[in-house]
Amino acid sequence: MRVSASLTRIIGLANVVVVTVAIIGLSLLPTGARPHAKPQAGAKPQDTVPAPTLTPVGQPPGIVATPEFARQVGANELGKVPVLMYHRLLRKRMASLDRTPDQLMKELEKLAKRGYVPITAAEFAAGDIHVPAGKFPVVLTFDDGHPSHFALDVNGNPAPDTAVAVIQDVATRYPGFRPVATFWVNKEPFGLRDHASQAAALRWLTEHGYEVANHTWGHANLRALKRKRVREQIVRLERLFKKLGAPSSTTIALPYGALPRDKKAARTGSWDGSRYDFSGVFLAGAEPSLSPYAKNFDRGAIQRIQSNGKTGECRKWCSQYWLDWLDKHPGERYVSDGDPDRISMPEELQGNIVAKRGLQVIVY
């Protein structure tokens, strides 16, 4: 899909709107009681917790694709991928970025019925896409580490109406729907303030296949900071992950979608002797992302789509619009060949693949 100058201006405006609304939404964050993930009895805060063993959850067995098979399933691994952006889940929405648990449930059910399979932002940015043949990857992302994203009940299960509980429920009822997502958090993940609870929460999520990654220490507008402060905001959160025994981040979502003035500082750098190097930097809007195999894919500025309906300013750049658009333009959508070691595409697209991906290319 070629983007016209007018559409480019619309996308730019959309990012500005997302940033503005996010600021308003953050000012409305409730400060009352928050659900907390409780550590096991007798647990004590520690400076260092053993890192969990990471195992991909629900990845389908790979197959060996052929040109004939790729043609049969309509494989197009240079197609566009929806990376959906969520913020708070509230029973009663207080800002346009908010969604209710029921709205999240309905959107995930729609994705499952249409053949979408969730992957994490880390898997997407790395091009490590394991999706059954003929199906479509989707990336579910949640910003700010809000308490409505994850909490454990008294039995150690995801609390009702949290994002994780909704995802797990949909995955149970639609077995091909992988229960994975990416949570980009700040210095108090999911509203938790003590390290024992934080460690327990991150351990549960990573052991169940979810990604928890960097959204800066204090939800900083990186555009307004000097390079040194940008790096400090990123490194301080990475040090917290290390202290909690969580894996280092391989992706970052920029607060307000704002790139720093030195764009490279968002992806790689160092502060106070600690380095970071992300495989993907994610923005705040406002169209499906290019495939990570595409020649023009910019891993330093990956587009996302705000989850919302088709009203007001969302008529042409939020999730309902774009998911319907991809249904109407199936030739533009990423369709998996089911083979993680090969990239399959129609013959007319073979000039758009990035060189030296290290994977075998199938053209039909």
DSSP-assigned letters across all residues of 186-227 = -SSGGG--SHHHHHHHHHHHHHTT-EEEES-SS---GGGS-H
Burial of 234 (0-12, 13-18, 19+ CB in 10 A): buried
What whole-number distance in Å separates Cα of residue 344 and Cα of residue 339?
A: 9
Question: Are residues 240 and 210 in contact, defined by beta-carbon separation less than 8 angstroms?
Answer: no
Total Cβ atoms within 10 A of residue 247: 16
Compute the radius of gyration of the chain from its Cα atoms: 20
> Residue for token digits 């809007």?
285
Q: How far is CA 104 from CA 50, 205, 349, in A?
A: 33, 19, 34
The per-residue pLDDT for 19 is 43
- What 3-state class would DSSP assign to 20? helix
Write the class of the CATH domain 5-30+52-61+80-331.
alpha beta
Splitting the chain (364 residues) into consecutive groups of 10 residues, what average pLDDT does each group show? 41 44 41 38 39 53 90 98 98 96 98 98 97 98 98 96 98 97 98 97 98 98 98 98 98 98 98 98 95 97 98 94 98 97 95 84 96
The per-residue pLDDT for 113 is 98
Global pTM?
Answer: 0.85
Total Cβ atoms within 10 A of residue 100: 15
Give the CA count within 13 Å in the CB-facing half-sphere of 141. 34
What whole-number distance in Å separates Cα of residue 46 and Cα of residue 192?
A: 15
Q: Which two tokens stand for residue 37?
A: 């993930």
Domain ranges of the chain: 5-30+52-61+80-331
What whole-number distance in Å separates Cα of residue 285 and Cα of residue 339?
A: 29
The per-residue pLDDT for 63 is 87
The per-residue pLDDT for 56 is 65
The per-residue pLDDT for 47 is 39
The per-residue pLDDT for 287 is 96
The per-residue pLDDT for 58 is 66
Nearest to 162 by CA among 147, 143, 145, 141: 147
- What 3-state class would DSSP assign to 243? helix
